[in-house]
């Protein structure tokens, strides 16, 4: 991967990390908003359930107390029982009691606060059977039943009448209609789908906001708070067995009676604050992510622009330094040799000047092609060899070069590969001529397995203390062109034992 590619990847990775951190923070804030809404709903439900349970416990205790006192009046003075009921009228109205009745041991009505034409038998009532089965002095609270005297639905609060031997001798009953309980619950606003339930220890629903009719055949058996051995209070999330709506339920069991109050808050209503807070957070996160992506793309674009600029500058340096400048330097050497031969060999000097002129024309053509970005056709073997020969110093003006070039390799080179190889060779030969002080040098272009290897070596002074200064820029250019060939460059040398520059690359790159 190129340095530019790594830099682009680093930018994208950095922005990705920032985006992940941003969404992590948003997720945390969204979760906190959700938890706050849930905690608020649970807290509200539990507080209300506790308050209603305390109220219902107090109301049931008051009814039970009146029931006990009336029972004592009946057992002491059945004839004056009606006066006793009248004395309790204020308390009975306060608890919305609509009926007081007394049954004998055979379950026939012996007394009714409301008028009745003739005695009625209640032996088939579940609450009478429950009092008989228990055989103890316990309060029995019935499910809502249709009263045979009241002609309306009511909950029956029942205690047994026991004889001197503590045997069943009848029952005393007070009736409270479910709507009386629902009047208390109706004043509490829990939203359109909020609900309050009063359930018995066996799961039977005794009262419900919104009316009891849909819940008549529904049992809450198995729900938390029903079983007396479980926690007396708590909360859970679940679907109502009455209407199927999902709610946050809080419950509280009465302290003295087998009744449980449930407060259910609609999930959507309870989470409304969460939704109000969540949407701006998510919108802000999306906007921030878009802005972050835009910044990342801008950075990448600027990095690519800088990379293109750097690449173009490197291309200019490589082309001008390795082609035109080195060619002009070689022309200069040719002209210098011609100047020295003017007196001793005018004919050779003239030929050298003509070669210099021809080479100068080639430099001009190269510059024109470079300026116009003209695409070069593939090199033939003769063209490639001609280019190589023009790089070599004139006979007697530098080290003697031997050239070994595989024509098959040349035939398989792409035009740009050939250009890079010629520029590398020109730079290396120029270094040998100018710095090596060599007597002999060698240029080789051969195939080695799946790779092509260009090697320029000499027997000169090698690499000494001035190696970095003499070879630094040239080696940089050679390495740059080797990278463009998707290969690598090597420089080896020992003081006074020569230098070898080698470039290897895959020809099919």
Q: How many helices (H) and strands (E) does the chain have?
A: 13, 16
Least confident of 208-212, 375-379, 431-435, 504-508: 375-379
C-beta atoms surrounding 377 within 10 Å: 8
Mean pLDDT of 414-440: 87
Mean pLDDT of 246-262: 93
State the Cα–Cα distance between residues 99 and 114, nearest whole angstrom: 7
Q: Between 181 and 379, where is the model more confident? A: 379
pLDDT for residue 318 is more than 70: no
Q: Give the pLDDT confidence score for residue 225 in this predicted structure.
A: 93
Q: Give the pLDDT confidence score for residue 481 in this predicted structure.
A: 84
Mind listing the pLDDT tens digit for each residue in 40-95? 889 999 999 998 899 889 989 999 999 999 999 999 999 999 999 998 888 888 88
Find, among 147, 158, 174, 139, the residue nearest to 57 by Cα.
139
Q: Give the pLDDT confidence score for residue 129 in this predicted structure.
A: 94
- Do 66 and 91 contact (CB within 8 A), yes or no? yes
Q: What does pTM read for this prediction? A: 0.58
Query: Residue 133 is encoded by which pair of tokens?
Result: 């089965």
Query: How distant, in Å, are the alpha carbons of 109, 110, 124, 154 from that of 121?
Result: 6, 10, 8, 17
State the DSSP string of 136-149.
SS--EEPPPEE-TT
Mind listing the pLDDT tens digit for each residue in 280-315? 888 888 888 888 888 888 877 887 777 777 666 666
Residue 491's SS3 state is: strand
Q: For helices 3-76 and 178-186, give the axis angle rounded to 10 degrees.
A: 140
- Do 99 and 147 contact (CB within 8 A), yes or no? yes
Residue 418's SS3 state is: helix
pLDDT band at 325; cut points 50, 70, 90 = low
Mind listing the pLDDT tens digit for each residue in 124-163? 999 999 999 988 899 999 998 999 888 888 899 999 999 8
Q: Give the pLDDT confidence score for residue 430 in this predicted structure.
A: 83
CATH number of 377-509: 3.30.565.10
DSSP H or E segment with residue 25: helix 3-76
Query: Residue 482 is encoded by which pair of tokens?
Result: 């080797």
State the DSSP string of 119-138.
--B-TT-HHHHHHHHH-SS-
What is the percent of the chain with per-residue pLDDT over 70, rounded to a whole number?
A: 84
């Amino acid at each position: 991967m190129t340095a530019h590619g790594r830099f682009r990847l680093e930018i994208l990775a950095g922005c990705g990390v920032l985006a992940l951190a941003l969404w992590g923070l948003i997720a945390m804030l969204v979760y906190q908003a959700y938890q706050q809404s849930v905690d608020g709903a649970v807290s509200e439900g539990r507080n209300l359930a506790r308050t209603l349970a305390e109220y219902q416990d107090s109301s049931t205790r008051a009814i039970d107390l009146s029931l006990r006192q009336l029972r004592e009046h009946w057992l002491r003075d059945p004839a004056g029982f009606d006066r006793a009921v009248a004395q309790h009228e204020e308390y009975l109205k306060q608890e919305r009691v609509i009926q007081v009745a007394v049954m004998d041991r055979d379950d026939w009505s012996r007394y009714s606060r409301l008028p009745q034409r003739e005695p009625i038998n209640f032996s088939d009532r579940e609450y009478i059977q429950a009092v008989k089965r228990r055989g103890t002095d316990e309060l029995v609270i019935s499910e809502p039943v249709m009263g045979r005297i009241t002609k309306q639905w009511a909950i029956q609060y029942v205690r047994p009448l026991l004889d001197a031997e503590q045997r069943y001798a009848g029952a005393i009953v007070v009736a409270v209609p479910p709507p009386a309980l629902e009047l208390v619950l109706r004043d509490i606003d829990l939203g359109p789908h909020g609900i309050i339930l009063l359930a018995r220890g066996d799961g039977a629903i005794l009262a419900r906001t919104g009316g009891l009719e849909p819940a008549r055949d529904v049992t809450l058996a198995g729900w938390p708070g029903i079983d007396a051995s479980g926690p007396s209070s708590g909360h859970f999330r679940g679907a109502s067995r009455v209407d199927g709506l999902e709610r946050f339920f809080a419950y509280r069991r009465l302290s003295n009676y087998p009744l449980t109050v449930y407060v259910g808050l609609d999930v959507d209503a309870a989470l409304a604050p969460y939704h109000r807070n969540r949407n701006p957070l998510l919108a802000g996160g999306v906007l921030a992510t878009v802005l972050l992506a835009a910044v990342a793309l801008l950075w990448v674009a600027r990095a690519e622009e800088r990379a293109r600029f750097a690449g173009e500058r490197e291309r200019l340096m490589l082309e001008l330094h390795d082609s035109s400048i080195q060619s002009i330097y070689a022309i200069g050497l040719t002209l210098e040799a011609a100047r020295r031969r003017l007196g001793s060999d005018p004919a050779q000097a003239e030929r050298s000047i003509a070669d210099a002129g021809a080479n100068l024309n080639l430099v001009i053509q190269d510059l024109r092609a470079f300026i116009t970005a003209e695409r070069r056709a593939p090199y033939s073997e003769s063209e490639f060899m001609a280019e190589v020969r023009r790089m070599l110093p004139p006979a007697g003006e530098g080290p003697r070069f031997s050239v070994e070039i595989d024509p098959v390799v040349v035939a398989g080179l792409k035009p740009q590969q050939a250009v890079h190889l010629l520029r590398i060779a020109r730079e290396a030969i120029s270094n040998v001529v100018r710095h090596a002080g060599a007597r002999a040098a060698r240029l080789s272009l051969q195939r080695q397995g799946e790779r092509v290897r260009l090697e320029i070596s000499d027997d000169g002074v090698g690499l000494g203390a001035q190696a970095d200064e003499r070879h630094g820029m040239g080696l940089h250019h050679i390495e740059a062109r080797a990278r463009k060939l998707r290969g690598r460059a090597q420089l080896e040398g020992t003081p006074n034992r020569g230098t070898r520059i080698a470039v290897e690359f895959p020809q099919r790159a």
